[in-house]
Amino acid sequence: MTHHEETGKKIQALLSQVSPEFTQLTANLTDVMAQADNPMLVAALLYKLAQERQQTNELLAKMESKYDELSFQLKMNGVGPTLTPNPTQGTHSISLLPEMDQKIMKLVETHQKVDAVLIQSKMGYKNPNAASQRLNMLVKAGYLGKIQSGKKVVFVQANG
């Protein structure tokens, strides 16, 4: 046995003591590398990688959506997601809203109905999608109602 092989065995033994999972994974990797010139194996590995990436992207999208929802609830409530404002009891409690949302609510009161393009121009958003997202969050929170007429979407004060 050469010095190189002996050192490799010592390292392998140390790794198996520290992390048996790592040893198992590297053993499997060694087997795969021995077959690396097989195009069917390479294709199967790429397919599996693509599947796992798609699953990861879907999971990340769900997590991002939930994070956005929780973040918006925290901003709306000023405290946490367990307290939700109830705008249907008399007047709107816009003091809980961030300043930008309070301005949007004042525009809705002034104009009776608004759309994303109007909010974009009045609030200085770079595109109507950002304004639309903000308006939709206010709909979700119950502050605004949403009326769709063809492609045009109009936002009004929620009934209450």
Structure tokens of 134?
């903000």
Look up residue 61 and give its amino acid.
Answer: A
Residue 156, pLDDT score: 92
Residue 56, pLDDT score: 94
Structure tokens of 122?
């009045």
Residue 79, pLDDT score: 45
Distance separating alpha carbons of residues 96 and 68, to the nearest angstrom: 18
Global pTM reads: 0.42
Residue 20, pLDDT score: 76
Distance separating alpha carbons of residues 140 and 5, to the nearest angstrom: 65
Positions of the chain with pLDDT under 50:
79-86, 88-95
Q: Please give the distance of CA 63 from its chain centroid, rounded to a whole number.
A: 5
Residue 155, pLDDT score: 92
pLDDT tens digits for range 34-69: 777 888 888 888 898 999 999 999 999 889 888 878
Residue 1, pLDDT score: 67
Residue 118, pLDDT score: 92
CATH architecture of 94-157: Orthogonal Bundle (1.10)
Look up residue 145 and give its amino acid.
Answer: G
- Residue 84 three-state SS: coil
Query: Residues of CATH 1.10.10.10 domain(s) within the chain?
Result: 94-157
